[in-house]
């Protein structure tokens, strides 16, 4: 829904998008492009969380001489920025394939634009591997990383507004006297942080989605700035908030589950290490 609302045409609002997708593509339409992200999400998340936590530990070691020392706000911000940069390197090709698969059956109605030989409305790609290989062959590495600039502008501040609010809310709602946050505190803090992060990241998420969807049938945008200017000129400021409801609603449960799984995994590994090395 997020991609269709941000880069598609004629959907109106979220409910209309749901009904249109179901009417035209049945239930399968809601799961288009899922296989590639599903296969890579474990690696992607573990790398991002690992980079964030290890950068924090390194900064605490340099600043205080103790990697386990509670990080200050500046350290959390810098660790979030590093995690954001790393996330783009891994996630940009995955998101491009997902968006191309989701948008390849969408009709393009544009005046004075010569379409490629492929007929809009018919699938261009046979699957995620075929999509990745086709883009790589036709557009090279630059094509695989199309929209990476917009994704960088989304993820760097986005992860700052992901990890920092999580740390703040987790500490705030954890009962006094507890050595570590309870699972319910982690779940709630992670959900709130996810909703904040995805909600505020929506404007650049719209630009990223449009850049990555661009190229299925035509190349409309020359780059991030051109996409911003064209989108604003044709649709006004409101275009940058398309899909904000879907992003915020989706951000809560996914981030809550992500942080809960992360914290519980850390506890389990620490417990195993303690039992192995008493």
pLDDT per residue rounded down to tens, the chain (278 residues): 666 666 666 666 667 777 777 676 677 666 666 766 676 788 888 899 999 999 999 999 988 888 888 888 999 999 999 999 999 999 999 999 888 887 776 544 443 344 444 444 456 778 888 889 989 998 899 889 999 999 999 999 999 999 999 999 988 887 776 777 888 999 999 999 999 999 999 999 999 999 988 876 667 888 899 999 999 998 899 999 988 888 888 899 999 999 999 888 888 887 765 555 55
Structure-token match 């660790």, residue found: 79
Q: How many CB atoms are closer than 10 A to CB 21?
A: 20
Q: Can you spell out the DSSP letters for 119-167?
A: PTTS-S-SSHHHHHHHHHHHHHHHHHTTTHHHHHHHHHHHHHHHHHHHH
Cα–Cα dist 44/90, whole Å: 7
What's the pLDDT at 217? 61
| CA 124/CA 1 separation, integer angstroms | 20
Instruction: Give the model's pLDDT for residue 118.
Output: 44
CA torsion angle 73 75 81 86 (round to 10):
-140
pLDDT at 29 (0 to 100): 65
CA dist list (Å): 41 to 18, 35, 64: 25, 10, 34
Tally the C-alpha atoms within 13 A of residue 125's C-alpha that lie toward its C-beta: 27
Burial of 67 (0-12, 13-18, 19+ CB in 10 A): middle
The pLDDT value given to residue 116? 45
| DSSP tag of 107 | -
- Which superfamily does CATH assign the domain made up of 146-277 to? Mitochondrial carrier domain (1.50.40.10)
Where are the chain's structural domains?
A: 146-277
Give the span between the Cα atoms of 249 and 76, in whole angstroms: 25
B/e letters for 98-119, b = 16+ CB within 10 Å, e = fewer, are bbbbbbbbbebeeeeeeeeeee
What gap in Å lies between CA 81 and CA 75, rounded to an integer? 10
Encode pLDDT of 201-230 as tens digits.
Answer: 999 999 999 998 887 666 788 889 999 999
pLDDT value of residue 64: 84
Instruction: Give the pLDDT of residue 30.
Output: 67
- The pLDDT value recorded for residue 242 is 87
């Amino acid at each position: 829904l997020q991609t269709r609302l941000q880069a598609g045409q004629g959907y109106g609002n979220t409910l209309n998008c749901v009904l249109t997708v179901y009417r035209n593509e049945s239930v399968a339409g809601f799961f288009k492009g899922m296989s590639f992200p599903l296969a890579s999400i474990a690696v992607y998340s573990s790398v991002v969380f690992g980079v964030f936590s290890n950068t924090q530990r390194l900064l605490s070691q340099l600043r205080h001489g103790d990697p386990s020392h509670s990080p200050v706000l500046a350290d959390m911000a810098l660790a979030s920025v590093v995690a954001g940069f790393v996330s783009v390197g891994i996630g940009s090709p995955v998101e491009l394939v997902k968006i191309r698969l989701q948008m390849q059956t969408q009709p393009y109605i544009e005046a004075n634009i010569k379409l490629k030989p492929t007929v809009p409305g018919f699938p261009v790609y046979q699957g995620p591997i075929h999509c990745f290989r086709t883009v790589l062959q036709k557009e090279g590495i630059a094509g695989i990383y199309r929209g990476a600039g917009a994704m960088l502008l989304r993820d760097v501040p986005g992860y700052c507004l992901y990890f920092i609010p999580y740390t703040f809310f987790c500490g705030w709602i954890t009962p006094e006297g507890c050595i570590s946050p309870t699972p319910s505190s982690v779940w709630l803090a992670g959900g709130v942080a996810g909703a904040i992060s995805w909600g505020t990241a929506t404007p650049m998420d719209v630009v990223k989605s449009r850049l990555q969807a661009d190229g299925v049938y035509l190349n409309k945008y020359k780059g991030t700035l051109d996409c911003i200017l064209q989108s604003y000129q044709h649709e006004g400021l409101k275009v940058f908030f398309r899909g904000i409801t879907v992003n915020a609603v989706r951000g809560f449960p996914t981030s809550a589950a992500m942080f809960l799984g992360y914290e519980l995994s850390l506890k389990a590994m620490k417990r195993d290490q303690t039992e192995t090395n008493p």
